[in-house]
Amino acid sequence: MNRNLVDKLSMRELIEKYPFAENFFVENNIIIEGYEDETFSKFLKMFTEEQKEDMALDVENIEISLIEYVEQMKLFLGMEDETGVETLTILAGQDKTGNPEEFGRLDIHKSEIISIVGPTGSGKSRLLADIEWTAQKDTPTQREILINNESPDKKWRFSSNNKLVAQLSQNMNFVMDLSVKEFLELHAKSRMVEDVEAVTEKIILEANKLAGEKFNLDTAITALSGGQSRALMIADTAILSSSPIVLIDEIENAGIDRKKALELLVSSDKIVLMATHDPTLALIANKRVIIKNGGIAKIIKTSPEEKEILKELDKMDEKIQKMRANLRNGEILSSL
């Protein structure tokens, strides 16, 4: 039990860190006005025995109730402690035929991009699934996932509200009858964001930098194209999601600006893993994991020479994107 919440933090600091804590005081008719700079424990000691009796105040139980309230709300909202996730580790398992994978461990750090490449059906999605469920040698691959060099807390594995991973799949379809603004406001409020309007405007701004065709806050989310939906969810994940790890399946098929999407996610201190067939995306990554026969065959660090090749690929990609834009705008293509 985290006694620091009542013994170390002042009530002002407690409310600044966990705004919902103020509701606890209101619901329990505890007036803290004028005493905000005291800890809750010290504040309770100011009451005389008569006052405690008049208020039906059980000091020990009310402290425990506050701690449990904060912890349960953190769990419900998916809030992370300040330490967060610094390192994701994959420990070797086996391929489809039971042969050991040809590596010992792979450590992935915050703000790092890892690409996952291999033929269709080779096992890329299986690796993403192992990470999402923090496998503990209990999946067909027998891999083990560590968080900050330790076996993951049960909250990562079994809580639907405290998600370790945000997964962006190839197909994203909304079914709620909401506008983009209503959808973003709902998410922002669930995260106890103070300036909801500013956050929703920032998300729509970033989403429109990624989308092929811009949309606005009044657009119904069910009317968004596949690319617009993916752009919205990437921006939302980068800015609002508490999940420290992002898994992306074939972002090249999303109809968005792929490089800007990755830059946005990495700037938000996320660990990003993406399954891809695109050589440009594979070389953007710090490392690439090669999948064969359901197992990790090798791990390759992107070399300086490959970074030079990436520059050439970027030039080619820019030409292709320009031609694509011209075609969409009904223009006649000419040789470059």
Q: Which residues, at least 6 apart from 90, have a Cβ–Cβ distance to it below 8 Å? A: 105, 106, 108, 127, 130, 131, 143, 144, 145, 296
Tokens linked to 238? 């980068």
For residue 27, what are its two tokens?
């619901």
Q: What is the mean pLDDT of the chain?
A: 85
Residue 94 has pLDDT above 90, yes or no: yes
How much is the pLDDT for 172? 63
Hey, what amino acid is at 140? P
Position 91 scores a pLDDT of 96
Give the pLDDT score at 54: 77
Mean pLDDT of 203-212: 88
Q: Which residues pair with 248 in a beta bridge?
A: 168, 274
Residue-level length of the chain: 336
The domain over range 87-302 is classified in CATH as 3.40.50.300 = yes
What's the pLDDT tens digit per position in 135-168? 999 999 999 999 989 888 766 666 555 567 888 7
Predicted confidence at residue 45, as pLDDT, reads: 87
Which one has a higher pLDDT value, 115 or 156?
A: 115
Least confident residue range of 52-56, 139-143, 314-318:
52-56
Question: Region 91-108: what's the mean pLDDT?
Answer: 94
The per-residue pLDDT for range 277-314, each reduced to its tens digit, is 889 889 999 999 999 999 999 999 999 999 999 999 98
Is the separation of the CB atoms in 112 and 270 below 8 Å? no
User: What value does the mean pLDDT take over residues 252-277?
Assistant: 81
**pLDDT value at position 82?**
46
**Tens-digit pLDDT profile for residues 16-43:** 888 888 888 888 888 888 988 999 888 8
In single-letter form, the type of residue at position 166 comes to A
Q: Quick check: helix, strand or coil at residue 90?
A: strand
What are phi and psi for residue 169, nearest 5 degrees? Answer: -85, 175
Domain(s) of CATH 3.40.50.300: residues in the chain: 87-302
User: Hey, is 231 helix, strand or coil?
Assistant: helix
Is residue 127 a contact partner of residue 278, using CB atoms and an 8 Å limit? no
| Residue pLDDT, tens place only, 236-253 | 988 888 788 888 887 765
Q: Which run of H or of E encompasses 96? A: none
Per-range mean pLDDT, top range of 42-51, 179-188, 189-198, 243-252: 179-188
